[in-house]
Amino acid sequence: MSHKRLALTILLSLMLSTLLSTTACAQAPPDIITAVSPTSAARGETGVVVTTIKAVETQSSPTVEASYAVVDTGQVACYDAGSELACPAEGQAFYGQDAQYDGNQPSYTLSADGLTVHDNVTGLTWTQSPDTDRDGDVDADDKLTAAQVQAYVDALNAQGYGGYDDWRLPSIKELYSLIDFRGTDPIPEAVGSGGLVPFIDTDYFAFAYGDTAAGERIIDAQFLSSTGYVGTVFDGRSAIFGVNFADGRIKGYPSDKAQYILLVRGNPDYGLNDFVDNGDGTITDRATGLMWSQADDGGQGMNWQDALAWVEQMNAENYLGYDDWRLPDAKELQSIVDYGRSPDTTGSAAIDPVFQATGITNEAGQADYGFYWTGTTHARFDGSGTAAVYVSFGRGLGSMDGVHVIDVHGAGCQRSDPKDGDPDDYPTWGFGPQGDVRRVFDHVRLVRDAGEEESGPSYTGYLPLILK
């Protein structure tokens, strides 16, 4: 081949490569693209030069905006099915639980005037106290119903509270960012709070358990969000989700229930997912930087120890091309709940339809969706760890009369199940004030940290093959 022809061939290859690179985002290039240069009798050359461009498919991650940074649960202790233990090594039973992974550690800054708390991870700023009547203590008099909240918000904005005029009632995902699973779960009948640890960082936030002097229970420390339940609870009552920082749960509470209030401002994108289907069985949330398995375990559920072991089995099998999957912690799993969906209103699980969710027949005989394990232990008031947190992507079932099973807490609630039990003894219902259904054998969805190398196919390189 002459030097001129070689130069022409290389030039043509480069031109085609540049053209394909600039159009790769618009459409995937074909595997083989061929260009033919005409002969030139004037140059005394015969034949043709065939330049073949082979597309090289590479994997690259979508840009992670980190607009929805999931804060770590704060849990530092490891547990077996009943009590605290030294954190297990890889290959040992109960390996891979919440305390063995470091997430975005909670970090707060209290304002100089003591009125606000800035979350250094999420970018959200909070009112420091639910003392709405500003009498110096937090009690039943401070609680507001959903109908009363807006007047309170307007009043704080009008006075520029803490130097800001853009306060709002938080969404359930914003509010749940504050939960701290170093807390301990009281028994509902507790008459005092001695020895209890709330599920919010009291080094920065004012908190009080239920006002027993006003006839409340110790566990009546529910905080209101702006997120309504799209279904109904208690056979037809509208509900709004709230976080109980006394017992570490999300529930849909009747809309007329008075609750504590914390207001928030900043980062309007917090809680908004940005899912990308990578086309390989994985889903990346660009907002949180987490990658999820598109499908769940697909089985009949498993106890908590088996769930942890199943994750390690998937890692050993290099499931979907990765060996660093984990059982999500409570806040990670709650981050993918879609509170605009429910079995009653959309005929689906409370999750984006980009995911697959195993259908079940629930304890009331309805088509429904399951509870999903997290790696987070729901520690009890006595320090035991017999229960682990789950998030319900189907109805939050319970029985108020011990007979009829109904939705009492809503799809998207977060409660806990015993970590183990005899399959012949479950499911049961009647646990706690609303008679929660307990299944023990719950489903699993995998999560891992999305790296820069993953997201789905993109076409970034082309190798010229020069043939004559």
Within 8 A by CB and 6+ apart from 462, the residues are 16, 17, 20, 21, 29, 53, 54, 55, 56
Predicted confidence at residue 192, as pLDDT, reads 87
Higher-confidence position of 155 and 49: 155
Span 270-313, pLDDT tens digits: 999 999 999 999 999 999 999 999 999 999 899 999 999 999 99
Span 311-367, pLDDT tens digits: 999 999 999 999 999 999 999 999 999 999 999 999 999 999 999 999 999 999 999
Instruction: Please state, in angstroms and rounded to a whole number, the distance separating the CA atoms of residues 102 and 72.
Output: 7
pLDDT of 397 strictly over 80: yes
Within 8 A by CB and 6+ apart from 306, the residues are none
pLDDT of 133 strictly over 60: yes
Higher-confidence position of 451 and 403: 403
- Give the domain ranges of the chain: 3-60+458-467, 78-102+274-449, 108-265
pLDDT of 26 strictly over 80: no
Predicted confidence at residue 11, as pLDDT, reads 43
Span 249-277, pLDDT tens digits: 999 999 999 999 999 999 999 999 999 99
Percentage with pLDDT > 90 across the chain: 79
Hunting for tokens 């100089």 — which residue is that?
Answer: 112
What stretches of 236-376 show up as alpha helix (H) in DSSP? 304-316, 330-334, 343-346
Interval 199-223 mean pLDDT: 97
